[in-house]
Amino acid sequence: MAFDKEKALEMCNRFSNNTLMQTLEIVYTDAGEGFLEAKMPVNPRVHQPMGLLHGGATVALAESVGSAASLLFVNPELQEVRGIEISANHLRSKRDGVVTGTARIVHQGRSLHLWEVKITDEEGRLISLCKITNMVLPRKKS
């Protein structure tokens, strides 16, 4: 079955309603074979006390886009995704504008997915480099 970019973005943005992603104004903007992209505004809502982008907000963007990307590889009616490890190296600060998180698959196993997530600014400069591991579980029947 061919990849449907619009359907994938609609699903990711719909899943964000009433969540941290909506609070942080994260919007999924692009998708393709093996990658997913989301944008987040940088403003006082995501600053640390010195007026810079908070590392926790950056990691929240990375985990959001990396976890949502794993959903594109599973059947969400039968499987769930859980982030089990994340790491981040913050390389550059940012005060305002927009950051983009792009998750690219490194390893896609049956039960584990490993993603590299690059957080960049509007000029494509690397703000943070993150790695997230997700576990794929069978969905429990309710």
- Provide the annotated active-site residues: 63
CA distances to 5, 37, 44, 141 from 72, in Å: 10, 12, 32, 21
* CA–CA distance, 12 with 94 (Å, rounded to integer): 26
Residue 104, Cβ density class (10 Å: 0-12 exposed, 13-18 middle, ≥19 buried): middle
Report the run of H or E that residue 79 belongs to, with start and end. Answer: strand 79-90
Residue 21 backbone class (left: φ over 0; alpha: ψ -120 to 50; beta: rest): alpha
Q: Which two tokens stand for residue 34?
A: 């093996």
